[in-house]
Structure formats: structure tokens, C-alpha cells
Chains A and B, each alone.
Chain A
């Protein structure tokens, strides 16, 4: 009986491990291949990216260990093709204001929704939930119209403003803040603290980890954006790297892997540093129901 259970557990473990390796494969392969030389990439994947120069291998295999490790792709990207760094910078100056602005607006609003829970504010909160559940295909149309009226189309603000007021962070932070015992807040108010003091000195510090997790979730979402730039920022010179990566030409496929890895780095760093916060953020997002 015991032996049978041990066998079952081992089988389960091996299955999970195989599945996990499959999950890691795309990321690991991209990183590994970024250290291959242009020639080696042509030889290995030439058939797929339709490059015509040099030797092309007859069958395609996923190569996880380059024949010769070289940084040449990175050197090309960093020192010889400024356009990628410009796109990277475009991503940064779109995402950073959105994440910071969203945190500021959302934390103030979350305190509002925590402190005043009347019928009106509950209705508003419900409207936020509905809005949060709408796909881009619905919200992009109003965003596009307002940006047009305000003359923001084709400027970064057309993406930043709707991003700053996105309701998801408000929803999540409110759920966090409502967990703070109301006695703490009442006590501070009895001691004569103003509303703003209660917010900055009591509510915010208790939500520090929530703020990190929300920042991470917002970052991932916007670092990945494709829909918004295509519609609201058609000017290719201002578009983020997430859109541009798809238009790398076949003869530049060598550096594409290096660019892809450079684009992954901020996310991966945040993940390695803040996985606990990410998990916490996901966990608290847990239920739409009250």
C-alpha cells in the first residue's frame, strides 16, 4: 500500500517537472539563442526566418546551447542600432508615468471607498467593477474619442491618461484597505488627525506591500501593450518596443533575440525581486465578490 503511494507520488512529481520544463523552455531558449552569432542563427533557424545568406540547416531544431557563446548581438544592439534603445526608452516613458499615476490616483480613491461606504459610493464602486471587466475592444473606442476631442491623438498622453485612471488598481487597493481594522482609523480620528493624515500616516503604510504588488501587476500589463499604441499612437517613432519587435526584418533576425532579451529584463528582475508581492497581489485579487 505504502509502496504504491510512493510510486504514485514519484510519477506525479516527474509529470509536473516535465510540464514545468516545457513552461520554461520558450524563455530559456530565447535567452540562450541571444548568445549565438548571426551566422549560427541563420544556420539554425534560416528556414523559418527566410534568410538567404550563408549555410542553412535542413532541419530546424530548438538550440539551447550555442556552439560558440558571443555577445556580438548585444554589442550590435547597444552600440550600433540606436533605434532599439529609442523604442525601449519609449516603453519606459509610457509605462513609468502610468504606473506611478495609477498608484497615486488609486490609493487616494481606495481610501475614499474604504472610509465612506454609503449607497452612492457603493454604486460607483460597482460601476468600477463593470468597467474593469470590459475588454479593450470596448474601452478603446471611448478613449479614442476623448483623445480626439482633446487633441491628444498621436501623443503619449492618449495612452497615459486612460492608463492612470484605469479602475483595476482602485478595485484591488480598496479590497486591501478594507482589511485594515476600522478601529485603527477611528482611534486616529479621535486623536484629532485629519483625513489626509489618517490616509498618509495609517492607511498607506499598512498597504505598502499591496502598493508593490499593484505596481507589478500594472507594470506587466502596460509593458506588454500592443492594442493601445496601434490605435492611439500610430506614430511609429513614439511606439513602444512591444509593438516594434514584431516588425524586425529577416536580415536583422540575429539581433532580434538580443532585443527580445533586453525587453524581458525589467520584468524578470521585478519577478525575481518581488515574486512574493506578485503572488500576494494575485491572491488578493482573488474574488470579485465582496
Chain B
């Protein structure tokens, strides 16, 4: 019996149900993230804490022209630009290797995944032993007859961080790729192989296409994680690292310390916009690349 009254009643019940279940989380997100982000946008457009007059893009221009911001952006972009593709490619290769019926597969998975569970703070000692000027890596280099470098205080400093980033993240990405490889319809691969397609052809024409959503996801995840690399740098070198390791978070920390809410806000908004554009771009590429693969 569907009277208009009971229909309205149902709709009301649905509304209250949705409010009750979504309420706590949505409220929390609004209070701690969304509303204050609105204020961040507002702060980025006014002159200062006392003079609330609207200054347009002045704060943005000031951040943009700030030398420290430039260095931080350049270093962060360099790091992300190198570390992310490396992470994606290496973890994909590892997943392919482990998926081709190699012995001890599950042990290998455990080994590669284990760094994820080890707090960065716990292994910085070993990292220093490895990459110090008179550390293990340089000792090894000496044997081969190469000059050692002061890794953390030279232009090679990002190498140290990139290795650490790869060590920490590759296991996670590898597991994602392994799962995705298992979802590729096996019949398709078999048919192609019967028809005489080479393994390389099968990989690029079939597997990579089915993997494209995962490649997208891993890329996004590793971009996000690459922004967290401040952690490792802070633990290794403290607040004032070599210039090549001065990252976006260092710049933000200085703005926090200086209580410069205007430029802090402008920097946060710029960063948010860059992320949104970057992610939209990646989605667009993936859409175009994986368009004729269903599932």
C-alpha cells in the first residue's frame, strides 16, 4: 500500500538515516578541514591580521616571488619527478617477476613489504651509517676506485632520500600491481600467446592496458607520499638541511614559525590547486589510455 503519506514517511526516514550515519563524519570533516580551508582562502586574500582589507592576489605574488618558496618548489618537483616514475616502474617490474611463478614468492612479498612497517625514525641511524661522508657506500665506492661524496651535503643529496623513499614504498605498490595482474583475464593472454604474440607485445598491448587504473592509482599515491618525504629529511638532517633538501614542508614550517598566516594560506591554496590540476590531468590521461578496456 503506497499512499503518498507513507512515501513521504519513507523519504523522511531515509533522510534522517542518512543524516545520522553521515553526520558525525561530515561534521568532523567540515569543522576540521573544509570550513577552516575556506578561512585559509579568505586569509590568503587579505592584507594582515589587523587590516582585513582585500588585497587580491598580492599574497600569492609575494609567495611566488619568495626565494625560499622557489627553492622549495623546485626541490619538491625534482624529487617527485624522479622518485615517482622510479617507484612505479620498479614496483611494476617486481610484481611481474613475482607473478611469473618464481619460487618463494610469498617470502619475497613479505621481504619487500616489510619496510612499510618499520618507522622511518628507526632506520635513520643505519641510513647515516650508509650515506655519511665516511660511511659504507663511500667505502664501497673507494674499492671500485671512485671518489666518495658527502651525500647529505652535496648536490647528490636527493639520491639518499630517493633511495629511502623507494625502500619504504615499493612493497605497497608492488602488492597493488600483483593484485591487478591477477585480475587480467587469463584467456585473453592465452589467445594472444597462441596467436604468436611476443611476451613484450602481450605486456604492452594487453597487460598494461588492464593495469592502467592501477598505474594511475599508484602514481597518485606515490605523489602524495612524495610530499611526505619531509619526514625522512627532517629526521636525517633536522630543520636546516642542505639547500637541495629544502622541501615545501620546510617552507611551510618557517611560515608557521613566523606566524605569517597570509603567505602560509596563499602557499596552501597554491599547493591545493597544483594537486587538483595534477590529479585531473592524470585521470584524463588514464581515461584516454584505458578507454577501450572494460572492467
Contacts of B216 in A (CB 8 A): 287-289
Query: Is A108 in the interface zone, CB < 8 Å from B?
Result: yes
User: Given known contacts A45-B129, A227-B230, A245-B235, is B25 in contact with A170 (CB within 8 Å)?
Assistant: yes
Binary CB contact string for chain A from 265 to 290 against chain B (1 if under 8 A, 0 otherwise)? 00110110001001100110111110
Q: Taking CB as reference atom, which chain B residue is nearest A149?
A: B36
What separation, in Å, do the CA atoms of A60 and B235 have in the docked complex? Answer: 22
Binary CB contact string for chain A from 101 to 115 against chain B (1 if under 8 A, 0 otherwise)? 000011011011101
Binary CB contact string for chain A from 158 to 197 against chain B (1 if under 8 A, 0 otherwise)? 0001101101001000000000000000000000000100
User: Given known contacts A20-B108, A135-B228, A227-B231, is B102 in contact with A245 (CB within 8 Å)?
Assistant: no
Q: How far is the CB of A279 from chain B (nearest CB, A)?
A: 5
Contacts of B56 in A (CB 8 A): none
Q: Taking CB as reference atom, which chain B residue is nearest A131?
A: B33
Q: How far is the CB of B129 from chain A (nearest CB, A)?
A: 6
- A271 with B129: CB separation less than 8 A: no
Binary CB contact string for chain A from 122 to 138 against chain B (1 if under 8 A, 0 otherwise)? 00100110110111111
- B265 with A141: CB separation less than 8 A: yes
- B114 with A109: CB separation less than 8 A: no
Q: How far is the CB of A61 from chain B (nearest CB, A)?
A: 7
Contacts of A268 in B (CB 8 A): 114, 117-118
Contacts of A116 in B (CB 8 A): 14, 17-18, 21-22
Query: Is A121 in the interface zone, CB < 8 Å from B?
Result: yes
Q: How far is the CB of A16 from chain B (nearest CB, A)?
A: 6
Query: Is A7 in the interface zone, CB < 8 Å from B?
Result: no
Query: Is A151 in the interface zone, CB < 8 Å from B?
Result: no
| Other-chain residue from A13, A49, A260 in contact with B123 (beta carbon distance below 8 A) | A260
Query: Is A220 in the interface zone, CB < 8 Å from B?
Result: yes
Q: How far is the CB of B151 from chain A (nearest CB, A)?
A: 12
What separation, in Å, do the CA atoms of A135 and B97 have in the docked complex? Answer: 32
Query: Is B167 in the interface zone, CB < 8 Å from A?
Result: yes
Q: Taking CB as reference atom, which chain B residue is nearest A243?
A: B121
Contacts of B180 in A (CB 8 A): 286
| Other-chain residue from B25, B36, B111, B235 in contact with A165 (beta carbon distance below 8 A) | B25
- B128 with A164: CB separation less than 8 A: no
Q: Which of B24, B39, B236 has the most CB of A within 10 A?
A: B24
| Other-chain residue from B18, B32, B227 in contact with A162 (beta carbon distance below 8 A) | B32
User: Given known contacts A137-B227, A226-B230, is B123 in contact with A27 (CB within 8 Å)?
Assistant: yes
Contacts of A23 in B (CB 8 A): 111-112, 114-115, 167, 171
- B121 with A242: CB separation less than 8 A: yes
Contacts of A16 in B (CB 8 A): 94, 97-98, 102, 108
- B112 with A20: CB separation less than 8 A: yes
Q: Taking CB as reference atom, which chain A residue is nearest B279?
A: A133
- A30 with B126: CB separation less than 8 A: yes
Q: How far is the CB of B19 from chain A (nearest CB, A)?
A: 9
Query: Is A256 in the interface zone, CB < 8 Å from B?
Result: yes
Query: Is B153 in the interface zone, CB < 8 Å from A?
Result: no
Query: Is A230 in the interface zone, CB < 8 Å from B?
Result: yes
Q: Which of A118, A143, A282 has the most CB of B within 10 A?
A: A282
| Other-chain residue from A20, A137, A138, A139 in contact with B111 (beta carbon distance below 8 A) | A20
| Other-chain residue from A109, A162, A224 in contact with B25 (beta carbon distance below 8 A) | A109
What separation, in Å, do the CA atoms of A220 and B115 have in the docked complex? Answer: 11
Q: How far is the CB of B288 from chain A (nearest CB, A)?
A: 14
Q: How far is the CB of B284 from chain A (nearest CB, A)?
A: 12
Contacts of A19 in B (CB 8 A): 94
The residues in A between 18 and 63 inclusive whose CB is less than 8 angstroms from any CB of B are 19-20, 23-27, 29-30, 33, 45, 47-49, 59-62
Binary CB contact string for chain B from 17 to 40 against chain A (1 if under 8 A, 0 otherwise)? 110111011101101111111011
Query: Is B64 in the interface zone, CB < 8 Å from A?
Result: no
Q: How far is the CB of B101 from chain A (nearest CB, A)?
A: 9
- B139 with A112: CB separation less than 8 A: no
Contacts of A61 in B (CB 8 A): 136, 139
A–B pairs, 24, beta carbons within 8 Å: A12-B100, A12-B102, A16-B98, A20-B112, A23-B115, A30-B125, A47-B132, A60-B134, A60-B135, A61-B136, A109-B22, A137-B249, A138-B272, A138-B275, A142-B40, A226-B230, A226-B231, A246-B124, A257-B125, A267-B118, A282-B175, A283-B179, A286-B179, A287-B214
Interface contacts beyond A131-B34, A146-B32, A246-B234: sample of 13 additional A-B pairs, CB < 8 Å, sorted by A: A49-B128, A60-B136, A128-B29, A131-B29, A135-B228, A136-B227, A137-B249, A165-B25, A167-B33, A223-B119, A226-B235, A242-B119, A261-B122
- List of 7 A-B pairs having minimum Cβ-Cβ separation, nearest first: A112-B21, A165-B28, A142-B36, A109-B25, A135-B227, A245-B121, A112-B22
